[in-house]
Amino acid sequence: MHELSIAESIVDTVTESMAAYPGARVLEVRLRIGVLTAVIEDSLQFCWGIATEGTALTGARLAVTTLPVVMHCGRCARDVELEGVQSFRCPRCGEPATDLRQGRELAVEAVEIEEAG
């Protein structure tokens, strides 16, 4: 249950970034979250309400894009998306997935803001 810590870190990250946009109100925060982070979106949404309470982000929506694992397959000489997280092998040729290129992201991609004028 680390979603509360994650939600608080999102609030900090966005609040810091918004210092450059005085007077702007955040309507939506867009996240990119890799499946290997084991962040549960429902829990995160629940914690988001708690973490934003009493902050400038109160009422802002949280939009989550979940990213699958992508490995670089040396044998196929290309990046390949894994079908799930139950087998870390190239789905095309079976090569072990030792070089992951995606799946651990925990990032604020963008925010939608409302500005005066």
Binding site for other proteins (CB under 8 A): 1-2, 5-6, 9-10, 12-14, 17, 21, 27, 31, 35-39, 85-89, 96-98, 100, 104, 106-117
Contact 97, 89 (CB under 8 A): yes
**Minimum distance of other proteins from residue 80's CB (angstroms):** 14
Rounded to an integer, what distance in angstroms lies between the CA atom of residue 32 and that of residue 108?
6
Distance CA 86, CA 78 (A): 21
Of the pair 6, 80, the CB lying nearest other proteins is at: 6
Name the residue nearer to other proteins (CB basis): 9 or 45: 9
CB 17, min distance to other proteins, A: 5
Smallest separation (angstroms) from other proteins to the CB of 83? 13
CB atoms under 10 Å from CB of 22, counted, come to 8
Residue 22: CA count within 13 A, CB half-sphere: 0
